[in-house]
Structure 1
Amino acid sequence: MLIYKIFRTDEWAVLDAEGETAGAPVDLADGFIHFSTAEQVRETAAKHFRGVDGLFLAAVDADALGDDLKWEASRGGALFPHLYRALRRDEVLRVDPLLLGPHGHDFPDLP
């Protein structure tokens, strides 16, 4: 199963250049890296990244993250994937620009 992380341009640049990241400021504050499923990621973008341009959508295989990935209740009791360690660049299977269109972000086809 693929899970998704939305990165701002500077956050993606750090991961791409340094090979790993502990996440965005909200991730550092919460103590884990926030991910979303394919079903959740559009709502995540609308709620937390409304009007933000220059985003990247990274896809990661949830199974490859092992026991460091926990599924925990969040919005409305839905289970969200949270990674309790740094994310490595080599764990990102795909990254796509998440362009801002007239009606919100334009997502690539998600499996």
Structure 2
Amino acid sequence: MLIFKIFRADEWAALRKNGVTDGAPIDVTDGYVHFSTAEQAAETAAKHFKGEDGLFLLALEADALGDALKWEPSRGGALFPHLYRPLKIEDVVWAQPLPLVDGVHEFPAGLGEASK
């Protein structure tokens, strides 16, 4: 199952340059890297990245992250994937821009529909 991370352009550039990151500032503060499922990604974008352009959507294979990935309750008691180790560039299955179109982030075909 793929899980998703939204990064700002500078955060994505830092991961590509360094090969590893502790995540965005919220991840560093919380002590783990926040992820969303396909069903949660659009709500995450709307809640935490409203109106922000220049974002990237990263996909990772949940099973490949092993025991460092924990599923924990968050918004409304829904389980969200949290990674309790640094995120490595080799963890990323794919990454692509997450464009802002008319004030709404446009997710890849299929993913956005699953998230609405």
| TM-score (structure 1 length as normaliser) | 0.97
1:82 alignment partner in structure 2 = 82
Correspondences of 1:37-48 after superposition (within 5 Å): 37-48=37-48
1:105 alignment partner in structure 2 = 105
Q: CA RMSD in A?
A: 1.0
1:64 alignment partner in structure 2 = 64
1:22 alignment partner in structure 2 = 22
State, as a whole percentage, how many aligned pairs show the same letter.
Answer: 65
Structure 1: gaps (5+ residues): none
| CA offset digits 1:56-84 (Å, max 9, x no partner) | 00000000000000000000000000000
Residue type matched to 2:76 in 1?
G
How many residue pairs align between the two structures? 111
C-alpha distance in structure 1 between counterparts of 2:94 and 2:11, whole Å = 16
Q: Cα distance, 1:34 vs. partner?
A: 0.2
Residue type matched to 1:14 in 2?
A
Larger proportion of strand: 1
The 4+ residue runs of structure 1 with deviation greater than 2 A are: none
Larger proportion of helix: 2
Structure 2: gaps (5+ residues): none
| CA offset digits 1:11-60 (Å, max 9, x no partner) | 00000111011000000000000000000000000000000000000000
